[in-house]
A and B are shown apart, each in its own frame.
Chain A
């Protein structure tokens, strides 16, 4: 299953202040760990919202309204994301806990969200029941 670790923006990241070398190194090391464990799918940092736009629909059937950045509600903005593929929700949490404080000065916030995917066959009770029946059959065949 896939999870996205979303790093929230801060006033500094919005102003385009580059993180310290120390933090860059720590992040790089963390990403290497993800790669070596075979879980990293993608990771990117985003430019400040000043170079972004926002498209909104304010009424049903209405036209799109385009607003240029920057946007003010810093804590709700996204500064980057890391997409991982793991075995379980617990594993995703463990990886998220190992990410360094993403801005390095106690203002960091990471949001962990699961990606919607096609039905997980292994977790589906109907499929699991079928699987058990098949297993029984296979065992009987083995005995015969």
Chain B
């Protein structure tokens, strides 16, 4: 291997291990910012030493040992001058150097779980949670995060620095929340992961329809979480949803980068492996035996599409019923809109249109382009082409996504002929 190859291998190993390193170090040091710095020190030491001594057989353990030694040094040094740190260190199990090797192979699932609860803590803004989670749990660089969200690198860097500062100043504990808070805190974590996924799946601004990096990171993190929080039905529900939606990633855009709607996608190209994995995750979610949450129900809806060989063969009656169930636990006008679409597919466009018309009186949907695009579609099916054209044009004028805009303009044009 050349020096460059070795360096790339080292950086990749560090990336694979960094979340575990940071989680373990935060456990020792109780400060995620310092933990990240020390994990980074370990990388630098590896970059110095490995090109000469070769990559160790168990590189993860090597990095962990080096990082923990430095963490202990730091605690010892500050112990002498800082009473606060002394207390901290006393409250923490300190490993002697001989112990370290024993500790490194220990299960660290619990520490990873604590880390994700920390990076998704409610004291942070939504943006900060996403950025910090991508950075600390997914090991993305600031530049990669910036690129994914079309932000400047300095904006993201600042966001991360500020988030770490907030965690420190608010004394956010490194722990898995107690039972009474757990459900709510877990839903915050899942929200962050799904937000990442969705940002990747359908970028709301700019002319990119899919940003695969974010989808992949969200899915991977979801899979990790499903292993460390196995008894949580909703975690499996979210993983199922992301797996099944990912199965359609490749068929969502054509060669020109234009979006292809679910109905028009080539189902033969859906990724059967991901569908199968999604169905398995859904089964795990249901097996836990608690009422299904919003992600699991959405996954079930997604599964109805995945299992149908064509639009006509889709069980729209079941989908309509699932949207109704979804509305009961997480009511929103958007769910209602989807319900109306399912009803129209199951029982005909005029019934769907009736529901959509009722919905359009709702103020929160009036700025939502999909309302008009759905309405246009139903009118089109009913043969009211002029009305449909107006709705498609209205929808086109409201969306920020360039590709979607051109799709809607095309549909408006179709109404003229």
Contact = CB atoms under 8 A, between A and B. Distances in A.
A135 interface: yes
Contacts of B150: 131, 134-135, 138
B208 interface: yes
Interface in A2-38: 35-38
Nearest to B250: A118
Contact of B12 (A41, A94, A117): A94
A38 B147 contact: no
Interface of A: 35-39, 41-42, 83, 85, 87-88, 90-91, 93-94, 117-118, 120-122, 127, 130-131, 134-135, 138-139, 142
Interface stretch (B36-44, B209-217, B309-317): B209-217
A91 B223 contact: no
Interface string B1-20: 00000001101110110000
A31 B273 CA distance: 18
Summarize A's interface: helix, strand, loop or mixed.
helix
B220 A36 contact: no
B12 A88 contact: yes
Nearest to A122: B213
Interface in B202-256: 205-208, 210-213, 216, 219-224, 227-228, 250
Contacts of B11: 90
Given A41-B277, A131-B150, A121 B12 contact: no
Nearest to B251: A118
Contact of A135 (B12, B151, B212): B151
A107 B12 CA distance: 28
Interface in B123-163: 146-147, 150-152, 155
Contacts of A41: 273, 277
Given A85-B220, A134-B207, A135-B147, 18 more contacts: A36-B228, A37-B16, A38-B223, A38-B227, A41-B277, A90-B12, A91-B12, A91-B15, A93-B9, A94-B13, A122-B211, A130-B207, A130-B208, A131-B147, A134-B150, A135-B146, A138-B150, A139-B151
